[in-house]
Amino acid sequence: MKIAVNPVKPFLSTQGTCYLVRVDKNNELWIEYIVDIVPLPPHLYCLFTRHYQLPVIKQTFFMVSFYTLDALLCGRSLYEPEPRMRYDKDELQEMLLKGIGKAIAAFIQERSACSLIALPARPGLGKVYDKLLSAHEQSSGYRYIKHYKEEGIYVIEK
């Protein structure tokens, strides 16, 4: 698989810092994802006030979402699975690491301190997040805050 990640200007319903991730599979299938990183919505602050002060949450907490460009352009549900790529387990991990992960790393690199929050649309995706975040925590320069995963929330901080 070939994976390319490039920053793009926000458009349509995107609101934050955006990256375009293009995945080309060997069998000539391809897809483009938008990684949208926005300030944490205020209605989610309460999830973190037990461990962080409100000014810190407001200034340094961001939420990561990703979805296909097709879904965004066609008005479909952003979080429905995209079956045409037929990722196997290894391909899904590669796409998440080299595509979504590279976009996240670029965002983190631009900031002196931040926390990124992911709320997976499906439980199976949460399990993949947990495995990848745990495996790559040491080499990536972030800290995986594992006590939130029981609530289905995945948090990394720099």
Alpha carbons 113 and 121: distance in angstroms, whole number: 26
Q: What is the CA angle 130-84-76, rounded to 5?
A: 80
- Domain ranges, residue 100: 2-157
Query: Is it the case that residue 127 has pLDDT exceeding 70?
Result: yes
β-pair type (30-39, 115-118): unpaired
Average pLDDT, the chain: 87
Ranges of beta strands (E only) in 9-57 are: 17-24, 30-39
- At residue 14 the predicted structure's pLDDT band, cuts being 50, 70 and 90, is low
Number of domains in the chain: 1
